[in-house]
Structure 1
């Protein structure tokens, strides 16, 4: 049977996805992420996979690794499907962004990024098995808990697992035109801290040194460093407890992105050079997690992309491939030189917002694309 003609059913997939979406799993809530991993582990077990629950560390949830039945499993390098189950949406988001379908759109927290793509990957495997089709290479699925914060606790796991495989498929959200990602920009995160001096904001305002005011000035300075080769932004800030107190400390997080590794390295040096003391307030900068450049011109990735283009043509659309910003765990595997194809997940819009949704008709399209890749990679 042609894997591109497998009987995928949209309504069945939506029904299967619903419990995944209604199990909210924000990155920093390890227990919530583990509940989501429980659901995924159960679904993988129904496929006959050998499922392992790997404990979390650094305060994050655990991971799920599942090896699908195959006569060559463990004997030859196979295909790794790598996805994350954490989302940016806090517990309670379902109250304002419930799982619901409106025509060709379906809404829900984490549905596009990236539970939808993870689910259609399992559905592709399920339909292949039901049809009695055996993939040329063994397949392993790895779901991790911390991609949305840069993968600090599982990068080593992802890289070690990827090194055992011939190919890596990443079902992050697909592009609007159905295209895929064949390279990604470099990304660095930074932890920022200003330390001043406290005082009573009403009676002794001039005695204090406001860490908040100092951080505000630093944020402008940092974002003004953005240029065509390297961008800088501050997306998180925490400070203060009492409005009548001059805050003596303020913490923030910054992100820098560049198309070339050398540009990111220069940007990192510029950020670290900002550490200093001004007007009695100390400014500290520490480097956080970094995603390396994944260059789009690697031969192995080009090979997978050509196969994907051929499958897309049979499905009725022209596939494009491009390098892009917005990091993923594909940065790591692609930078290792392992043939990697990213953005194989569902199409939609509004990821990371309260309008996150997918195009329902992309469920079958992307499941068939994944099934085709699993059958043609060898």
Structure 2
């Protein structure tokens, strides 16, 4: 059966996607993420999958692994890898509620990446309803912690990838609708300044402000940004009483580089910031890291297949390496042919304007169905 004849319906997909978006699932709220995994597990099971619930660890939510019936069940096939956590705290729906306006659909996490996850499921469901047997068995793995670097499920993703021939990642499409065939390297750091407390009113001079020291260090860190490696401070925690000179301050830093060697040099520069200045101790420790993923022949062969399928659907599928990490960094760096960002078109991810282009639901479902029926 030609994948273009599958009866994908925009209204049906919107109706199915809405409960996913209205189930808010910020990474740091394990219970909320698990509620989202419940919804996904039900929909995957209803589509015919055998479901495994994998408990969470390190304080994060659990994962869902779904394997679909196949004559070669258990043999290497296709892994669809997606995350169900978002950056939006519970309550964001009040600011960016589910709504359909002027060909767009809004909601927290709809672009990154629940929309892509849902259309992948819909592609599998429609193939099953049509009685179409894919050449390779299909496994879906939904995980809970991509937005913070995948600290608790990297090993799970990598082990699942090793058992398959191909990995598809339905992260949001690039701005021009294109796919991602490589990603830059990313490292995270934790920075702590430890000063000396004092009363901020009558003994200010006796204190050593950890906040002031961190402010100076932030300027220094962000000034290290260049063409080869970038540095940005995204999180700061400090202080409890305004009448006390702060004794500690914590910050989180993200660094990105196009080449692994540049990131390695950036790591050295960050770790070298540890020390003591003006009686304030600075400690820099390394957090989670995503390796650089450079496209190889296997990935490019999958892209060329996808480009041909896109042409049949009626659009041009470009490709590029991209900044911003995903779990494709891991599988691509392992040398497993990986095609990333084949999810929905949209804009505003990680903002209160996050939305998708409704017309891309059918387009992307057809793209995934085409890949599932032609990858061998």
- Runs of at least 5 residues in structure 2 that lack an aligned partner in the other structure: none
Structure 2 residue aligned with 1:355, among 349, 353, 356?
Answer: 353
Aligned counterpart, 1:86:
85
Aligned counterpart, 1:166:
165
Aligned counterpart, 1:138:
137
Aligned counterpart, 1:178:
177
Aligned counterpart, 1:32:
32
Aligned counterpart, 2:148:
149
Secondary structure at the aligned position of 1:265 is classed as helix
Alpha-carbon RMSD across the aligned residues, in angstroms, is 0.5
Q: What's the CA shift string for 1:323-366, capped at 9, x where partnerless?
A: 01000000000000000000010000000000000000000000
Aligned counterpart, 1:53:
53
Q: What's the CA shift string for 1:273-308, capped at 9, x where partnerless?
A: 010100000000000000000002x11101100100
Deviation at 1:178, TM superposition (A): 1.8
Aligned counterpart, 2:236:
237
Q: What's the CA shift string for 1:172-191, capped at 9, x where partnerless?
A: 00122221000000000000
Bigger drift between 169-178 and 140-149 goes to: 169-178
Aligned counterpart, 1:332:
330
Q: Counterparts of 1:290-309 in structure 2 under 5 Å?
A: 290-296=289-295, 298-309=296-307
Aligned equivalents of 2:119 and 2:304: distance in 1?
A: 21
Deviation at 1:4, TM superposition (A): 2.1
Tell me the matched-pair count. 376
Aligned equivalents of 1:361 and 1:148: distance in 2?
A: 26
Deviation at 1:6, TM superposition (A): 1.1
TM-score (norm 2): 0.99
Aligned equivalents of 2:311 and 2:17: distance in 1?
A: 27
- Runs of at least 5 residues in structure 1 that lack an aligned partner in the other structure: none
TM-score (norm 1): 0.99
Aligned counterpart, 2:18:
18
Aligned counterpart, 1:319:
317
Aligned counterpart, 2:99:
100
Answer whether contact 1:223 1:233 (CA < 8 A) is retained: yes
Aligned equivalents of 2:73 and 2:332: distance in 1?
A: 23
Answer whether contact 1:5 1:368 (CA < 8 A) is retained: no
Q: Counterparts of 1:210-289 in structure 2 under 5 Å?
A: 210-289=209-288
Structure 1 stretches of at least 4 aligned residues deviating more than 6 Å after TM superposition: none
Q: What's the CA shift string for 1:68-114, capped at 9, x where partnerless?
A: 1111110x210000000000000000011100000210000000000
Secondary structure at the aligned position of 1:246 is classed as coil
Aligned equivalents of 1:65 and 1:131: distance in 2?
A: 23
Deviation at 1:317, TM superposition (A): 1.3
Aligned equivalents of 1:8 and 1:100: distance in 2?
A: 21
Aligned equivalents of 1:91 and 1:129: distance in 2?
A: 35
Aligned equivalents of 1:280 and 1:4: distance in 2?
A: 68
Structure 2 residue aligned with 1:371, among 365, 369, 372?
Answer: 369
Aligned counterpart, 1:192:
191
Aligned equivalents of 1:236 and 1:204: distance in 2?
A: 29
Aligned equivalents of 1:88 and 1:203: distance in 2?
A: 42
Secondary structure at the aligned position of 1:65 is classed as strand
Q: Counterparts of 1:197-212 in structure 2 under 5 Å?
A: 197-212=196-211
Aligned equivalents of 2:180 and 2:168: distance in 1?
A: 11
